[in-house]
């Protein structure tokens, strides 16, 4: 039987979202390329060409 996840150790809730901790992600042993908040592998979702990223700090929005 696989090890059970422990809240506060392997993950926590932020609102309705489950957020995995760096400890859990490192122990899992690979990057899923989903842009996890605590990714120990340095992956960022905004580096993917196939994923739209909203930028709240982009005040200079020009129409194309």
Domain spans of the chain, in order of start: 1-38
Q: Is the full-model pTM beyond 0.85?
A: no
**Is the pLDDT reported for residue 64 higher than 50?**
no
pLDDT of residue 1: 44
Q: What is the pLDDT of residue 45?
A: 74
pLDDT attached to residue 44: 82
Mean pLDDT in residue range 4-11 = 96
The secondary element (H helix, E strand) that includes residue 20 is: strand 17-20
Question: Could you report the per-residue pLDDT of 20-48, keeping only the tens digit for each?
Answer: 999 999 999 999 999 899 999 988 877 65
22-35: b or e for each residue (b if 16 or more CB lie within 10 Å)?
A: eebbeeeeeeeeee
């Amino acid at each position: 039987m696989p090890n059970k996840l422990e809240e506060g150790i392997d993950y926590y809730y932020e609102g309705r979202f489950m957020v995995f901790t760096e400890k859990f992600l490192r122990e899992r042993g690979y990057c899923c390329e989903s842009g996890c908040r605590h990714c120990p592998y340095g992956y960022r979702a905004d580096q993917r060409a196939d994923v739209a990223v909203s930028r709240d700090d982009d005040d200079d929005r020009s129409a194309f």
